[in-house]
Chain A
């Protein structure tokens, strides 16, 4: 158990270093740089530019910049935004609640609905329900998230006026109900793709579990079909799904990026796009590291849950 933790943490550290190097390198390959936006400003002189470059430390070699940035990170200093000089952690902190809310609610929706569709599809194989679910999943997987977002806005906001078209709350309101009202559409749109993926995996995992001998044993004991399904089939079918949930985390994150943009949701996704537009390196790098840590943590937690649920697996 302890050796597992040490092992995994050291692996994660190596991974984080690699991610940071690649991220830092690629960012510096982008032509223009943080000062490009001032290039067309007639009020900026060559001297001003040089002073700014000096001030931000952009005139030094990349590897010096990297080590300075990484050294700061190790001491808990994630740097300051080029745009407004605010500490990066504060900038991320302002947006993280919105993103976690969106990701959490849409993941919960996806898992609940996807699991139900998957189990029902497996127990009623080749039924109308099963075929409908299969076709629905194909459609949800084939059409990009932003399209669903736009259609959702058109139908439910512009035509029916059921839900707001964007943002997280009405200015001047901000009550829990108001936020929930704003949350419905983006979280469902973000969940669609994951419902599709989750239900397909759940269906095949359930089918595999149903054909196991121990399910026959359970029936031979005289258990009711309901108990056979819940206690013996679903429990075993959910095991591989825990790993899947861990692995799906990055795609939820990237999905959130698109969804937040479509619904002008004030989360990390939008912050990322905006910061990239301004070449705000410290914020972009901060977000990159933050997502990497989130993904690593998610997988670690998935492994722990499996070890708790499955007696055969010992963390070692």
Chain B
């Protein structure tokens, strides 16, 4: 059976589905074979076609159009990935397909056809009947995409209810069937569960179940795996691909991650600043990109390298030595009630040599962030030693530790939340050293020199954080940490919030700074590819314990523990045939810190 015959024309499909409560796919298929001859939709093999779409932004934004002159097509039964960095217009495009543009943003020209129906200018009521039935959507953050006050079952049956499908019993049965289909354990129980009881991956499965409820022809997935751990991401990608194949669905997949593209895409559209710069077959775009922007993006993608960093310094006494560190979170009543005990950091030992970087990798809940906070003494440890330059700081009280604070500095994840919006950059950089006794004039001169050093111009000193982009802010964050001339930098997911091209630049900057200043680094990240780029040694954490500790060559090429193997295998896009595209071997690789090999 041809792909196209899998789908009845939407109008006929609706009348049939309204007629009865059954959802059996086999009857549906029969039915559609009969109706296919009467289908009148435009080109039969296109599920979605966007032609010359221009969406305008309200005046005063950085550019007049969110997207401009965008045309692409999604063939039936294919997965089309739209990839771009933040501000590329990929999400606006996805929202436009659902008729979701917020008020001041408007489609000024162009057409969008879903299953042959033009939806630009379609009346609201008609558009509503298309949503969920012809096209449905899943979102990035499964934590906020489900209504916290409704059970999983209610939220799924609501789709059927909204389109007047089935009876109460049949809707319920269908919901349980869908929960089974997306691989959730104990669907009967799951039906009555509230979203907060589910993990991120499970919630995303519920979202997918909901999106599949009426077997729409098109699924739009807006960064559906970005907020998930790498192993969960691998499972969800597999689920989406399996379902797409089984149902012959057409999927439009928005992502910023070339690894994901390599895993899942049939076709790729690359967007930059509201325009399509390249589109075509996934293999072709990934292996021989024609546009310089695509090449730059691809080059910036951190690839897993199994190579160890070359050692420049002789091994000396470690800057930081952690022995049997333990931190347990306790919650619950002091007098009454049951206590909840979560071992966040459980008997952890490692050391960091001067001028070296230790990577701490793990999934959410592994305790890696707690570890970082323990080391900088934002949290008090329960037991164990933290030897900083030979001195145990674990038991120090704040007044005693204060003198050591300048030596251990932190770079935070969120470049937007970590800078006080009401302070000038100059104030942000100098306030710390001045508090520790540096004269202001000297702090100011150092700050200006450092700003230049991290790649910002000296004029930045008098400006405010909102005037800078995410990457620039992260440079400011690094400069702030360096103001103290620290011995140890703790970078907690320092590049996770950044676009890949910016990510590569920041990694390079950190590498350069380490070579110049000899600072040691503890690099906390969930992204194994990033860790493989910058770390001398890596600690793999799971549920508060270290499951593996060794150089990248061991972790990535011959992992000893089953968990590490699982993590490495789950990294998207690291299939050997796509590992290093030919074009990247030449000039482009300079963007990654490993270039310092020579």
Which residues of A line the B interface, CB within 8 A? 3-4, 6-7, 212-214, 216-225, 227, 231-232, 235-236, 239, 309-312, 316
Selected from A221, A235, A239, the residue in CB contact (under 8 A) with B158 is A221
B321 within 8 A of A: no
B358 → A minimal CB distance (Å): 36
A40-B65 Cα distance, complex, nearest whole Å: 85
In this complex, how many residues of chain B approach chain A with their Cβ under 8 Å: the count is 35
Contacts of A7 in B (CB 8 A): 333, 335-337
Contact indicator B148/A222 (Cβ below 8 Å): no
Q: Which residue of A217, A225, A231 contacts B210 across the interface (Cβ within 8 Å)?
A: A217
Q: How far is the CA of A218 from the CA of B124 in the complex (A)?
A: 15
Q: Tell yes or no: B51 within 8 A of A by CB.
A: no
Report 20 cross-chain contacts, Cβ distance below 8 Å, ordered by A residue: A7-B336, A212-B144, A213-B139, A213-B145, A214-B144, A214-B145, A214-B148, A216-B145, A217-B139, A220-B211, A221-B131, A221-B132, A222-B129, A222-B133, A223-B158, A224-B162, A231-B150, A232-B147, A311-B149, A316-B337
Q: How far is the CB of A208 from chain B (nearest CB, A)?
A: 12
Q: Mark B145-166, 1 if CB is under 8 A from A, else 0.
A: 1111110000000110011000
Residues of B near A224 (CB, < 8 A) are 128, 162
Closest to B127 in A: A222
Among B100, B132, B133, B210, chain A packs the most CB atoms within 10 A around the CB of B132
Is B114 positioned at the interface, with any CB of A under 8 Å from its CB? no
Q: A213-B144, A213-B145, A310-B148 are in contact. List 17 more A-B contacts (CB 8 A).
A: A3-B333, A7-B333, A7-B336, A214-B147, A214-B148, A217-B139, A217-B145, A218-B147, A219-B98, A220-B98, A221-B159, A222-B159, A232-B147, A310-B149, A312-B194, A316-B332, A316-B333
Which of B129, B137, B335 is close to A220, meaning CB atoms less than 8 Å apart? B137
- Quick check: is B141 within 8 A (CB to CB) of the other chain? yes
Quick check: B136 and A220 within 8 Å, CB to CB?
A: yes
Determine the chain A residues whose CB is within 8 A of the CB of B194 once the complex forms: 311-312
B129 to chain A, nearest CB (A): 6
| A236-B149 in contact given A216-B139, A217-B139, A312-B196 (Cβ < 8 Å) | yes
* Min CB gap B103→A, angstroms: 9
Give the residue of B147, B210, B332, B338 whose beta carbon is less than 8 angstroms from that of A236: B147
Highest count of chain B CB atoms <10 Å: which of A4, A6, A212, A218: A218
Residue positions of B touching A, CB distance < 8 A: 98, 100, 124, 128-133, 136-137, 139, 141, 144-150, 158-159, 162-163, 194, 196, 207, 210-211, 332-333, 335-338
A311 x B144 contact (CB < 8 A): no
Given contacts A213-B144, A214-B146, contact A222 B131 (CB under 8 A): yes
Residue of A nearest to B144 (CB): A213
CB atoms of B131 and A311 under 8 A apart? no
CA distance A311 to B152 in the complex (A): 12
> A308: shortest Cβ distance to chain B, in Å?
11
CB distance from A316 to the nearest CB of B (A): 5
State A20–B144 Cα separation when bound (angstroms): 46
Q: Which of A218, A225, A311, A316 contacts B148 (CB 8 A)?
A: A311
CB-CB nearest in chain B for A220: B137
Contact residues in B for A231 (Cβ distance below 8 Å): 147, 150, 158
Q: A213-B145, A217-B139, A236-B149 are in contact. Are A311 and B196 (CB under 8 A)?
A: yes
Residues of B within 8 A of A214 (CB): 144-148
User: Chain B residues near A219 (CB, 8 Å)?
Assistant: 98, 100, 131
Measured CB to CB, the nearest residue on chain A to B131 is A222
Docked complex Cα distance between A214 and B139 (Å): 9
Nearest chain B CB to A90's CB is how many angstroms away? 38
Of chain B, the residue at the smallest CB distance from A311 is B194
Are A312 and B210 touching (Cβ within 8 A)? Answer: no
Docked Cα-Cα span, A310 to B147, in Å, equals 11
Chain A residues with Cβ under 8 A from B196's Cβ? 311-312
Interface centre among B124, B145, B207 (most CB of A within 10 A): B145
Supposing A220-B136, A221-B131, A222-B128 touch, asked if A227 and B149 sit within 8 A by C-beta, the answer is no
| Complex contacts, A232 vs chain B, CB 8 Å | 147
Within 8 Å by CB of A213, from B141, B158, B211, lies: B141
- Provide the bound-state CA to CA distance between A232 and B158, in Å: 11
Q: Which of A6, A221, A235, A236 has the most CB of B within 10 A?
A: A221
Checking A213, A227, A312 against B162 with a beta-carbon cut-off of 8 angstroms, the contacting residue is A227
Q: How far is the CA of A4 from the CA of B147 in the complex (A)?
A: 27
User: Across the interface, do B336 and A3 meet the contact criterion of CB distance under 8 Å?
Assistant: yes
Q: How far is the CB of A232 from chain B (nearest CB, A)?
A: 5
In the complex, are the beta carbons of B145 and A3 less than 8 A apart?
A: no
Residues of B contacting A312 in the complex (Cβ-Cβ under 8 angstroms): 148, 194, 196
- In the complex, A236→B338 CA distance in Å? 29
Distance, CA A265 to CA B337, complexed state (A): 46
Residues of A contacting B336 in the complex (Cβ-Cβ under 8 angstroms)? 3, 6-7
Cα–Cα distance between A316 and B136 once the two chains are bound (Å): 39
Find the A residue at minimum CB distance from B159.
Answer: A221
Report the Cα distance A219→B196, complex, angstroms: 21
Chain A residues closer than 8 Å to B163, beta-carbon distance:
222
B98 surroundings in chain A (CB, below 8 A)? 219-220
Interchain nearest-CB distance for A152 vs B (Å) = 40
Which 4 pairs across A and B sit closest by C-beta, in order of nearness? Answer: A222-B132, A3-B336, A222-B131, A311-B194
- Counting chain A CB atoms within 10 Å of each CB, which of B100, B128, B163 scores highest? B128
Nearest opposing residue in chain B for A227, CB measure: B162
Chain A residues near B144: list those with CB within 8 A.
212-214
User: In the complex, which residues of chain B have a beta carbon less than 8 angstroms from the beta carbon of A217?
Assistant: 137, 139, 145-147, 207, 210
- Shortest Cβ distance from residue B242 to the other chain A in the assembled complex, whole angstroms: 22
Whether A222 and B146, one on each chain, are in contact in the complex, defined by CB atoms closer than 8 angstroms, is: no
Instruction: Determine if B337 and A220 form an interchain contact, defined as CB atoms under 8 angstroms apart.
Output: no
Contact A221 B333 (CB under 8 A): no
Nearest CB to that of B99 among chain A residues? A219
Neighbouring A residues of B137 by C-beta, 8 Å: 217, 220
A223: chain B residues within 8 A (beta carbon): 128, 158, 162
For B139, list chain A residues within 8 Å (CB): 213, 216-217
Cα distance A279–B211 in the bound complex, in angstroms: 70
Which residues of B are found within 8 Å of A212, using beta-carbon distances?
144
Chain B residue, CB-CB nearest to A239: B149
Bound CA–CA A224/B162 (angstroms): 7
Check B136–A221 contact: CB distance below 8 A: yes
Inside 8 A of B158's CB, which chain A residues have their CB? 218, 221, 223, 231
**Cβ–Cβ < 8 Å partners of A239 in chain B:** 149
CA distance A225 to B128 in the complex (A): 9
A220 contact set on B, CB distance < 8 A = 98, 100, 131-132, 136-137, 211
User: How far apart are B71's CB and chain A's nearest CB, in angstroms?
Assistant: 24
Q: Which residues of A contact B150 (CB under 8 A)?
A: 231
A221 to B162, CA, bound (A): 8
Chain A residues whose C-beta falls within 8 Å of the C-beta of B133 in the assembled complex: 222
- Residues in chain B near residue A3, CB distance under 8 A: 333, 336-337
Given the complex of chains A and B, what is the CA–CA distance between A212 and B139 in angstroms?
A: 12
